[in-house]
Amino acid sequence: MIESGLGQEEERARTAVQEAQSGNAVALIGSGDAGVYAMASPALEFAATDIEVDGVPGITAAVAASNLLGRTARP
């Protein structure tokens, strides 16, 4: 388990890539969707072709919130 604070996003992505390069199965976690202003970009940037990067889609807050719209629009 490798945890770090806000503002260390690039470092986290680098750490995840390094762990994967040394043979570990790594989960780099975030909230919402990894592709929406999140960790996918730095991770893909640092990853070379020697490791496989799988994106797992997530439900980002804007999508969750938009599904409340119909409900609030009805009287």
Partner 1 sequence: MAVATASDHVGAAGGHPTIVISDVDAYLAGPAVYYRPPSLIVGVGSARGVSAREVGMLIDEALAAESLHSMSVRCVATVDLKADEEGILAAARERGWEVVTYPADVLSGVEVPNPSEVVWAEVGTPASPRRPRCMRQVVRAERRAGRREAQVGQRHGRHRKAAAQGQARDRRAGAGARDLVTPRAITALQRASVIVGLDQYVDQIRDLLRPAPG
By CB under 8 A, name the binding residues for partner 1: 1-7, 12, 15-16, 19, 24-32, 36-38, 54, 56-66, 68-69, 72-73
The nearer residue to partner 1, 48 or 65, going by C-beta atoms, is 65
Closest CA to 39 of 73, 12, 69, 75: 12
The nearer residue to partner 1, 19 or 44, going by C-beta atoms, is 19
Question: How many Å from the N-terminal Cα to the C-terminal Cα in the chain?
Answer: 48
Q: How far is the CB of 1 from partner 1 (least distance, A)?
A: 5
* Separation CA 30–CA 38 (nearest Å): 7
